[in-house]
Amino acid sequence: MSIVASLRTPRGLAVALLLLALAVLPLLTQAFDQRYLLSIGTRIVIWAIAAISLNMILGYGGLVSFGHAVFFGIGGYAVGILGAHGVVTGWIQWPVGILAAAAWAALVGALSLRTRGVYFIMITLAFAQLVYYVGVGLEAYGADDGLNISRSRFPGLVDLRDKTSFYWLCFALLLGTLWFCSRFANSRFGFVIRGAKSNDLRMTALGFPVFRYRLAAFTLSGAFGGLAGILLANEGAYISPAMMSWVKSGDLIVIVVLGGMGTLFGPLFGTIAFFVLEESLPPLLDLVRKGWGEYWQIAFGPLLVLIALYARGGIDSLFGRRHG
């Protein structure tokens, strides 16, 4: 269903209120003098873009990629490496980062999409670890310690050093990503991907080149992941191999499952829930026993199990049955 049609449902009302809250978040944080919340909100928006990109292949295509965070790293390192060599304009850094992530996704997809099931998972993980250890070995760019970088520059357009301007840029890109995903899911291209998830042999028998469609979807997903990595690098003015560790890939999968796979707004719900729990559970656990806050996943795990048992469609399913 399209974004406009979605907003006419109870789910749509919740989404509209959520997007409105995100849109005015800088104003709210300024009014209540809670500036740190803007940083959390920026991370939520960036990770939501990455989760939506993973949902394109995981939720709609049934392809469990355990190396999606590598596109974070490729996009981020494109900004950092170019900046280290004096190329600080975002008009060069951002296209290079997105194209590099898309090219790597095309290469990985061309090889991994010839496999199925656990073999696909392991191959995507192996390629991700390959890039991760390349990052660890880049002594000129901080190696395992990472590298402080200069933010991309768009003279006369937007100053990424201003946290409010940067947040609104990220939010605008989130809206653009949601629009693209809506068009993707409801296009002929998207229907082929969704049909192949159910029965790829039948789709092939109908004359659709399933491999090519999946490869194109995998490449697009990598490109949006690279965009999220570019934003993440600019948000903290820092890059490190940790951006593309398998742990981050696992977090993205958890976010998509938590929010609702194969739904338009599920990744956004999942990202918000994940970060709310990450930021609120540690202080609560510290009240129970000092020092437990760093083990907040102990409380998060059972919550995820409850979602899996009683809300198999994720948080999105709590708003009722989807139509269209």
Please write the tens of the pLDDT for every residue from 208-234. Answer: 999 999 999 999 999 999 999 999 999
Residue 184, pLDDT above cutoff 50: yes
Alpha helices (runs of H) in 59-116, residue ranges in sequence order: 69-84, 90-112
Tokens found for residue 174: 């989130």
Residue 201, pLDDT above cutoff 60: yes
**Cα–Cα dist 241/238, whole Å:** 11
**DSSP string covering 144-177:** GG-EE-PPPBBTTTB-TTSHHHHHHHHHHHHHHH
- Among residues 98, 92, 51, the alpha carbon closest in space to that of 76 is found at 98
Q: Name the average pLDDT for the chain.
A: 87
Residue 324, pLDDT above cutoff 50: no
Cβ–Cβ under 8 Å, residues 67 and 243: no
pLDDT of residue 320: 66
- Match 């399913």 to its residue by tokens: 317
pLDDT of residue 191: 93
Find the largest Cα–Cα distance for the chain. 61
pLDDT of residue 77: 95
- 12-48 as b/e: b if 16+ CB within 10 A: bebbeeebeebeebbeebeeeeeeeebebbbbbbbbb
Report the pLDDT averaged over residues 48-56: 96
pLDDT of residue 294: 58
pLDDT of residue 19: 92
pLDDT of residue 20: 92
Query: So what CATH class is 3-319?
Result: mainly alpha
Neighbouring residues of 172: CB distance < 8 A, sequence distance ≥ 6: none
For residue range 260-315, what is the model confidence (pLDDT) as tens digits?
Answer: 899 999 999 999 988 888 776 555 555 555 555 556 566 667 777 777 666 667 88
**Cα–Cα dist 169/209, whole Å:** 37
**Cα–Cα dist 262/180, whole Å:** 14
> Quick one: what percent of the chain has pLDDT higher than 70?
88
Choice between 306 and 160, residue whose per-residue pLDDT is larger = 160
Residue 81, pLDDT above cutoff 70: yes
What pairs with residue 153 in β-bridges? 89
pLDDT of residue 192: 94
